[in-house]
């Protein structure tokens, strides 16, 4: 082998090595704002799995109305909650697909624990979908109890539990490294809005709900009417 061929082979080897080295360099990550940077954590699978559980508990909190409302109202309540959930989920999906934000755990490449291989949502941090759905359930439960079943003995314990599990979901999504604080705050706001809005509009405009706003008391010498607005 002459010197010219040896030089060519050496040049090819060096080129492959250089290209491979450059491609192995990690891409630079976007800068995190000061507010979010104070609470960033590496990935934690136990906390992430726990947030799945608390999300489902909060999301299914409206199931308590099976013990509160008469069976004749179950279908209406189901349709109303389905509307809230669909609006929340649709907003969640649209925002995640149009807003690109790297999840916090991507900033900890040397962490011994990382999300399962093959995850394709590493850049869908905003907003927190778990928080959206958890707060949808909590807000809907709160609103429906307040508007239609204010005297139910289940009202306080179920409402408190729903908000507690929703808040725990948001906290766990941050602590598990899946989300920034602003992700879960946005998720809580979106879920709460749709959770409150749908039952309020039903209470305001559905004919079947109008009777719940008017109470009449009749006595031997008087009649009183109370209207809630």
Per-residue pLDDT of the chain (229 residues; tens, 9 = 90+): 454 444 334 334 334 333 333 333 344 688 999 999 999 999 999 999 999 999 999 999 999 999 999 999 999 999 999 999 999 999 999 999 999 999 999 999 887 777 765 567 889 999 999 999 999 999 999 999 999 999 999 999 999 999 999 999 999 999 999 999 999 999 999 999 999 999 999 998 887 776 555 443 444 454 444 445 4
Distance of CA 197 to the CA centre of its chain: 17
The full set of domain ranges for the chain reads 34-110+123-227
Apex CA 166: angle with CA 45 and CA 123, to 5°?
Answer: 50
CATH class for domain 34-110+123-227?
Answer: mainly alpha
CA distance 102 to 123: 4
Q: Which of 89, 57, 213, 71 is nearest to 150 (CA)?
A: 213
């Amino acid at each position: 082998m002459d010197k010219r061929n040896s030089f060519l082979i050496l040049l090819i080897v060096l080129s492959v090595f250089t290209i491979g080295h450059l491609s192995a360099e990690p891409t630079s990550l976007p800068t995190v704002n000061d507010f979010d940077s104070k609470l960033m954590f590496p990935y934690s699978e136990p906390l992430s799995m726990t947030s799945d559980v608390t999300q489902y508990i909060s999301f299914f909190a409206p199931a308590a109305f099976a013990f509160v409302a008469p069976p004749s109202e179950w279908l209406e309540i189901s349709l109303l909650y389905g509307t809230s959930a669909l609006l929340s989920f649709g907003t969640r999906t649209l925002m995640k697909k149009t807003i690109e934000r790297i999840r916090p755990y991507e900033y900890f490449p040397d962490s011994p624990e990382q999300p399962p291989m093959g995850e394709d949502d590493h850049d869908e941090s905003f907003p927190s979908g778990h928080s959206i759905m958890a707060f949808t359930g909590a807000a809907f439960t709160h609103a429906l109890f307040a508007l239609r079943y204010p005297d139910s003995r289940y009202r306080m314990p179920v409402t408190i539990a729903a908000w507690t599990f929703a808040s725990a979901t948001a906290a766990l999504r941050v602590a598990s490294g899946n989300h920034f604080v602003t992700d879960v705050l946005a998720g809580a706001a979106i879920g709460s809005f749709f959770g409150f809005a749908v039952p309020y509009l039903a209470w305001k405009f559905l004919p079947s709900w109008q009777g719940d706003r008017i109470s009449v008391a009749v006595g031997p010498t008087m009649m009183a009417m109370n209207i809630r607005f």
